[in-house]
């Protein structure tokens, strides 16, 4: 039976570092509050000229280089993003052009926010297992900084998010490979939509765009932090328990966990609840904040580069985000 595995990863973050102290100059907040509540010390924010597609391209070039592949070796792109460089078309098509692919490969767009990675991985794994494609590029690339309310009004959200891109190349595993995706599970609950969303500009308005409209809170991300926090811990623990049990593993069998980076406290609680030692995970939230779709491939790439994840390790990834959506994957890396 065909299986797939992660052949290589890559990531890119903008060079512009924005510290908590920089935020103190924009809004009523403090380095102490942000670190205590979230674990974040700094994040990267794009500068004019940097794009979602451009960051994705740089991350992809790293993954291609590490696997000794060319753009034309990719059979399909799955692009995860809240909002690509344009309202439409999606980021996958834009990246296909920038990669310089000489053939018109398919480009899928995934809009599952912080859970984009498990959703994309399930799709890629299924398409490879079923023999439709051999090699798929999964991308998460996100610019938050230009959509945030950087005044005191938006401080509960704007201190948490950063920009960046992370990718991985998933391909058909050689026979008897010690590296393969074991399972992915993804779920959603639309009831949670109200707790984390941007309302406007919405096609429900007639017309969607109107002249001289005041840019009130409805144009910026709205988050009910406590509800999101509670649901994140509950769902991440549940889905990790489910995927481990379904595949005959105990938490103690897991060599490494790559968790979404929304809040250090969420991840501490999840690891505590699962009784997996905190050393078996890697964090990028301190320096990049929450980069939604990009977070898991960025964090996993760093962990691989640091030698924390080795080939054959039992690795779990777990994410939770707006929608609500959440998901987990289990693999022999």
Active site members: 114, 260, 290
**Do residues 321 and 260 make contact, with C-beta atoms less than 8 angstroms apart?**
yes
The residue within the footprint of ligand ACO, chosen from 22, 33, 273, 314 (CB under 6 A), is 33
Q: Please give the structure tokens belonging to residue 209.
A: 């765009």
The residue within the footprint of ligand ACO, chosen from 16, 19, 29, 51 (CB under 6 A), is 29
Q: Which stretch binds ligand ACO (CB under 6 A): 1-9, 131-139, 183-191, 221-229?
A: 221-229
Number of residues that bind ligand ACO (CB under 6 A): 23
Question: Taking CB under 6 A as the rule, does residue 196 contact ligand ACO?
Answer: yes
- In angstroms, rounded to a whole number, what is the distance separating the alpha carbons of residues 15 and 185? 34
**Do residues 310 and 333 make contact, with C-beta atoms less than 8 angstroms apart?**
yes
**Do residues 60 and 98 make contact, with C-beta atoms less than 8 angstroms apart?**
no
| 3 state DSSP class of 330 | strand
Question: Taking CB under 6 A as the rule, does residue 110 contact ligand ACO?
Answer: no
Sequence-distant (≥ 6) Cβ neighbours of residue 214 within 8 angstroms:
none
Query: Residue 63 CB, nearest distance to ligand ACO (Å)?
Result: 24
Tell me which residue of 39, 42, 31 sits closest to 268, measured CA to CA.
Answer: 39
Query: Residue 166 CB, nearest distance to ligand ACO (Å)?
Result: 15
Q: Which of residues 231-250 bind ligand ACO (CB under 6 A)?
A: 232
Q: Which of residues 156-175 bind ligand ACO (CB under 6 A)?
A: 156, 159
- In angstroms, rounded to a whole number, what is the distance separating the alpha carbons of residues 173 and 190? 35
- In angstroms, rounded to a whole number, what is the distance separating the alpha carbons of residues 118 and 186? 7
Q: Which of residues 272-311 bind ligand ACO (CB under 6 A)?
A: 290, 292
Q: Which stretch binds ligand ACO (CB under 6 A): 26-34, 46-54, 98-106, 178-186?
A: 26-34
Which stretches of the chain bind ligand ACO, using CB under 6 A?
29, 33-34, 37-38, 113-114, 155-156, 159, 196, 225-226, 228-229, 232, 262-263, 266, 290, 292, 321-322
């Amino acid at each position: 039976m065909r299986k797939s595995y992660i052949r290589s990863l890559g990531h890119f973050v903008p060079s512009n570092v924005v510290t908590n102290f920089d935020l103190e100059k924009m809004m009523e907040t403090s380095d102490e509050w942000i670190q205590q509540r979230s674990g974040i010390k700094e994040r990267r924010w794009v500068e004019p000229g940097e794009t979602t597609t451009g960051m994705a391209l740089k991350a992809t070039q790293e993954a291609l280089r590490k696997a000794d592949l060319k753009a034309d070796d990719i059979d399909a792109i799955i692009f995860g993003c809240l909002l690509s460089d344009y309202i439409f078309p999606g980021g996958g098509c834009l990246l296909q052009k920038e990669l310089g692919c000489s053939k018109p490969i398919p480009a899928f767009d995934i809009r599952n926010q912080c859970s984009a990675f498990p959703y994309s991985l399930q799709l890629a794994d299924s398409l490879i297992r079923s023999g439709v494609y051999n090699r798929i590029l999964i991308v998460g690339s996100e610019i938050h900084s230009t959509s945030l309310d950087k005044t005191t009004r938006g401080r509960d959200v704007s201190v948490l998010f950063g920009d960046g891109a992370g990718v991985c190349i998933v391909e058909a595993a050689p026979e008897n490979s010690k590296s393969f995706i074991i399972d992915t599970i993804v779920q959603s609950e639309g009831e949670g939509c109200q707790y984390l969303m941007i309302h406007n500009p919405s096609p429900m308005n007639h017309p969607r765009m109107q002249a001289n409209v005041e840019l009130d809170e409805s144009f910026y991300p709205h988050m009910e932090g406590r509800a999101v926090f509670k649901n994140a811990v509950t769902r991440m623990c549940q889905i990790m328990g489910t995927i481990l049990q379904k595949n005959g593993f105990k938490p103690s069998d897991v060599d490494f966990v790559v968790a979404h980076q929304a809040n250090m406290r969420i991840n501490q609680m999840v690891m505590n609840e699962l009784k997996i030692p905190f050393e078996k995970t890697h964090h990028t939230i301190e320096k990049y904040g929450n980069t939604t779709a990009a977070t898991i491939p960025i964090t996993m790439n760093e962990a691989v580069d640091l030698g924390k994840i080795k080939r054959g390790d039992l690795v779990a990834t777990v994410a939770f985000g707006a929608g609500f959506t959440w998901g987990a994957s289990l693999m022999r890396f």
